[in-house]
Each structure stands twice: as C-alpha cells, then as structure tokens.
C-alpha cells in the first residue's frame, strides 16, 4: 500500500497540479498540503526524478513569485491585485 507522499508523487508524475487541486484529490486540508508537497518534492528529487515548478504569477501585471512559494499567494506585491495563477508542480 502506497503512502500519501508516494501517491502524491504518482499524481504529480501523471500531470502538473496546483497545491489546491492536490489537496482536493488526496483529501488533505489546505494547511497541511504545503508541508506534504515540499517533502514529496524532496523525496522525488532524492529518487532521481526531475521536479518542475512553474511559479505562481499575477494575472494583472505578470509578476512572478519565487518558486519556493507552492500555495496561492494572497496578493501581488507589485500591483496589489488578487487575481493570481497558482504554482504548478510536475514530476518527470
């Protein structure tokens, strides 16, 4: 039986996902998903997989957040807009 992190790695290998969509698919609450996702990324890299993170960005001005930010930010620091694309994570 696969652990939650192994399941998360398998889901991310099937296609890119946001932290919110992973939380819905795997039944995690939003507060716990970032820690679990960070650990799954470390585990995947240790196993030799390539992890691709498309960072969160603002829909209004195009500001790109740091790749370390895996969950959806509240506001854009540049234009203060709240319409944001969430970070996408993919494992190859």
Query: What average pLDDT is seen over the chain?
Result: 91
The pLDDT assigned to 1 comes to: 61
What is the average pLDDT across 63-88? Answer: 92
Residue 26 confidence (pLDDT) above 70? yes
Q: In the block, which residue shows the tokens 């969160």?
A: 56
Q: In the block, which residue shows the tokens 């585990």?
A: 43
Q: Which residue range is the domain that position 17 belongs to? A: 4-91
Query: What's the CATH number where 55 sits?
Result: 1.10.10
The lowest-confidence range among 12-16, 28-32, 35-39, 65-69 is 28-32
Cα distance between residue 12 and residue 82, in whole Å: 26
Number of domains in the chain: 1
Long-range contacts of 26-30 (CB under 8 A, 24+ apart): 28/4, 30/71
């Amino acid at each position: 039986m696969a652990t939650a992190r192994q399941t998360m790695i398998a889901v991310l290998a099937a296609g890119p996902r946001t932290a919110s969509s992973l939380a819905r698919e795997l039944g995690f609450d939003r507060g716990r998903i970032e820690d679990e996702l960070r650990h799954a990324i470390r585990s995947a890299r240790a196993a030799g997989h390539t992890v691709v993170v498309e960072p969160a960005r603002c829909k209004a001005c195009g500001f790109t957040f740091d790749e370390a930010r895996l969950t959806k930010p509240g506001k854009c620091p540049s234009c203060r807009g709240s319409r944001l694309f969430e970070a996408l994570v993919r494992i190859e």
